[in-house]
Amino acid sequence: MKKASLIVFLVSSLALITNILISAKITIPLVISTLIGLIGFLLSLLKDIRQHREQREFEFYVSEKIKDQQNDDIEDALAPFINSYIPKNEIKGLSETERWEVQKIDKKILLLLQKSRFDEVEKILNVLNKKYRLSFIRKRYGDLYLGTGDFQLSIKNYKKALSLNNKNHVAREYLAIVFSKIALENMGTKKAIFYYKKAIETNELFFSAHYNLGIEYAKMHNKLAIQSFDNALKINPKAERVYISLGQYYSSLRNYTAAEESYNQALKLNKNNTFALECLGYIFLMKNDLIEAGRFFQKVLTIEPDNDRIKKLINDISKIDDSTEIELIGE
């Protein structure tokens, strides 16, 4: 209905009802109550018209996004902003116009967070939180406090996000990250181990938490290091650094057979891992197998021909046993 036609219709309707009431000689109170009822009806009608217009605008917006993306996935059209952490089950609980609004606001929040404009982010979130009781808003509060370095407030808000929506997996991941950050600040202490465990409880597939927990146990010569490294490898079997750390742990216990096996696993993933090659060289030095030690050091030198430290090692081996002849690259 066009705006001009609507105005004519409303004015005409009001005039007609007024004439009827006057001609029927109805009492003034009744006229007033009738007019109030009519005004209420008109306001409701105007609200419906506004919502209809917003609906049309939203449908146009979505259709344009679908054309841009050249697909029929309506969820992609509803979430066009990069790094939007609004869970799908929360989006489905909103009206179309509300979805549009929160995504526009979230885009602005993201930009402000990237620029470290935390005061502005907090003001926006405070307004948004009064209007909507949504998990993603609490997740953003967590991001805000993580950015300012207030880990305790960050943890509180990520937990609140999960209490509102247990399927907010990104909030769960970030909660684990905060625990891990606290652990990193307390390396070499029982507090670090405690927070790595909290991170793993929050997200069992958090690779770096398992790996770093293994590092902490290894420093203490605690056999739990092996289990932590194994857990990390279950998540990422191709993580050569885990095999390297396992090798170092076994070497510290003088279990050279297990250490050798770990370093060889690292080399299967990356034959040019010079650290693994060098460590194997040292293992064979410990075994007094100078020829085999020299062979591994020579492989390091093949990859790093300017490594003076390895050249010196090879020379030292040759001096120990004159029968051990190792040709130096570039000599």
The pLDDT assigned to 16 comes to: 58
Torsion sign over Cα 118, 121, 127, 128: negative
Residue-wise burial string across 9-39, b where 16 or more C-beta atoms lie within 10 A, e elsewhere: eeeeeeeeeeeebeeeeeeeeeeeeeeeeee
Indicate the range of 11-15, 272-276, 286-290, 293-297 predicted with least confidence. 11-15
Asked if 328 and 314 count as a contact pair (C-beta separation under 8 A), the reply is yes
pLDDT in tens, 184-216: 889 889 999 999 999 999 999 999 999 999 999
| Measured CA distances, 39 to 26, 45, 198 (Å) | 19, 10, 59
For 242, list phi and psi in degrees, rounded to 5.
-70, -40
- Work out the average pLDDT over 274-285: 91
Assigned token pair, 87: 């869970």
In this predicted structure, the answer to whether residue 220 has a pLDDT above a threshold of 60 is yes
Give Cα 116 distance to the centre of its chain.
18
Q: Decide which of 248 and 54 is more confident.
A: 248
Alpha helices by DSSP H, 186-223: 190-202, 207-219
- pLDDT-based confidence at 83, cuts 50/70/90? low
Assigned token pair, 243: 């095999």
- pLDDT-based confidence at 119, cuts 50/70/90? very high
- Work out the average pLDDT over 223-228: 96
pLDDT in tens, 300-313: 999 999 888 888 88
Please tell me whether the overall predicted TM-score, pTM, comes out greater than 0.85 for this model: no
- Helix or strand run (H / E) with residue 232: helix 224-235
The pLDDT assigned to 68 comes to: 41
Rounded Cα–Cα distance for residues 63 and 139 (Å): 29
Q: DSSP for 9-64, please give it.
A: HHHHHHHHHHHHHHHTT--HHHHHHHHHHHHHHHHHHHHHHHHHHHHHHHHHHHHH
Asked if 310 and 301 count as a contact pair (C-beta separation under 8 A), the reply is yes
Rounded Cα–Cα distance for residues 148 and 144 (Å): 7
Assigned token pair, 12: 């005409």
Q: Give the side-chain half-sphere CA count within 13 A for 26.
A: 15
| Measured CA distances, 63 to 66, 83, 116, 126, 166 (Å) | 5, 22, 34, 32, 32
Assigned token pair, 296: 């591994």
pLDDT in tens, 1-51: 445 555 555 556 666 566 655 565 555 665 566 666 667 667 777 766 665
Cβ-based neighbours of 134, under 8 Å, separated by 6 or more: 86, 90, 102, 164, 165
- The domains found in the chain, sorted by start residue, are 3-78 (no CATH), 79-167 (1.25.40)
In this predicted structure, the answer to whether residue 147 has a pLDDT above a threshold of 70 is yes
Indicate the range of 40-44, 162-166, 197-201, 264-268 predicted with least confidence. 40-44
Rounded Cα–Cα distance for residues 171 and 230 (Å): 26
Rounded Cα–Cα distance for residues 153 and 119 (Å): 15
